[in-house]
Chains A and B, each alone.
Chain A
Amino acid sequence: DQQVKQNSPSLSVQEGRISILNCDYTNSMFDYFLWYKKYPAEGPTFLISISSIKDKNEDGRFTVFLNKSAKHLSLHIVPSQPGDSAVYFCAARTGTYKYIFGTGTRLKVLA
Chain B
Amino acid sequence: DAGVIQSPRHEVTEMGQEVTLRCKPISGHDYLFWYRQTMMRGLELLIYFNNNVPIDDSGMPEDRFSAKMPNASFSTLKIQPSEPRDSAVYFCASSRMRANVLTFGAGSRLTVL
B-binding residues in A (CB < 8 A): 2, 6, 32, 34, 36, 41-46, 49, 89, 91, 93, 96-104
Interface size class of chain B, counting residues whose CB lies under 8 Å from the partner chain: 20 to 34
Q: Which residues of B contact A99 (CB under 8 A)?
A: 33, 45, 48, 93, 95, 102
Which of B31, B91, B95, B101: most chain A Cβ within 10 A? Answer: B101
Chain B CB within 10 Å, residue with most, of A43, A49, A99: A43
Query: Across the interface, which residues of A come within 8 angstroms of B55, CB to CB?
Result: 96-98
Q: How far is the CA of A44 from the CA of B3 in the complex (A)?
A: 13
Residues B104 and A44 in contact, CB atoms below 8 Å apart: yes
B43 lies within 8 A of chain A by Cβ: yes
Return chain A residues, CB-CB under 8 Å to B101: 34, 46, 49
27 chain-A/chain-B pairs, Cβ below 8 angstroms = A2-B41, A32-B100, A34-B100, A34-B101, A34-B102, A41-B107, A42-B107, A43-B4, A43-B91, A43-B107, A44-B104, A45-B104, A46-B101, A46-B102, A89-B42, A91-B43, A96-B56, A97-B48, A97-B97, A98-B45, A98-B48, A99-B33, A100-B45, A101-B42, A101-B45, A103-B42, A104-B43
